[in-house]
Amino acid sequence: MDIKQILSQKICFCDTNIIRYLIDHPEKWLAFKNYLAKGEMTLTISMIQLLELNKLPRYYQSFFQLLSVVPANIFAWWRNILKDEIQYYPKVSSVNPIFGYIIEEFIQTPSKRFSLKEILESNELNLVWDFFEESKDKYMPVLSWLPSTSPKPGANHDLDFELHNFGYVIGEIGEIDDQFALGFKGNYNKLKTESFKGSYLRAAYTYYRYIRD
C-alpha cells in the first residue's frame, strides 16, 4: 500500500490509554491490524499524543515497534484543521485532517519527510504541551458535562445537548475567527457543528487526557 492509499483510508482514533494498552500487549497487535484492515482504517494519532508518549520513554520506543505491525497516520494540528474548515465552510469535505504517515521516526507527507526528533524537541511543541496543561481547568467543567448528556430520545434532552455542543464549537471557532463566529450569534441551529472536526479533535484529546480515568 503506498502513502496516498494510506492517507486516504478511514481514521481510527484511539486515546493514549488505549495506545499504551496496545503497547503493553504485543500479542494483540496482529488482531488489531486485522481489525483495521477489515474496516479499511488506519490508526491515527495527534501530535500532542506523540509528545505525551515521548515523555514516557518506555512507551515511546515501544510505540515504534507497534508501528512495525500497525500502520499509523498523524493528524494535522487541530487549529490548522479548524482554520481550513472555517475557510471552506460549509463545503468542508475537501479539508484533509491528516498531516502525514508515520514511518520509523519520520512523518512522511506526499511532498516532504519530517524528523520526529526535531519536531518533538522544538520549543513550539513544548509550548503546545504547556498550553494544554494550563487550559485543563478551563475545559474540565465544560467537558465533564459530556458523559451524562449524550444525545438520547427526547426533545428537551437533545436541545440541551445541541446548545452545549454549539457553545463549545463556537468558542473554539471564535478563538481563530471571531467575525465568522459572530455571524452565528443567536442562531445556534444555523451552524453545522459536526462540520468542524478540528474542534472535536481538540475536545477528544482534552476529555480523555484530563477527565476520563
Strand locations in 9-122, DSSP E? 10-13, 41-45, 72-75, 98-103, 106-108, 113-115
Backbone angles phi, psi at 73, to 5 degrees: -105, 170
Average per-residue pLDDT for the chain: 78
Averaged pLDDT for residues 61-82 = 89
Task: Judge whether residue 95 has pLDDT over 80.
Answer: yes
Averaged pLDDT for residues 21-50 = 92
For the ranges 89-93, 102-106, 117-121, the maximum mean pLDDT occurs at: 89-93
pLDDT tens-digit series, residues 39-67: 999 999 888 888 888 888 888 889 989 98
pLDDT band with cut points at 50, 70 and 90 for residue 170: confident
Residues contacting residue 136 through CB under 8 Å, at least 6 positions apart: 206, 209, 210
At 85 the pLDDT is 95
Please tell me the least confidently modeled range out of 20-24, 88-92, 144-148: 144-148
Q: Give the whole-angstrom CA distance, residue 49 versus residue 45.
A: 7
Averaged pLDDT for residues 75-86 = 91
Averaged pLDDT for residues 127-134 = 67
Closest CA to 48 of 212, 211, 208, 213: 208
Structure-model confidence comparison of residues 193 and 160, the more confident one: 193
State the chain's maximal CA–CA distance in angstroms.
Answer: 53
* 165 within 8 A of 193, measured Cβ to Cβ: yes
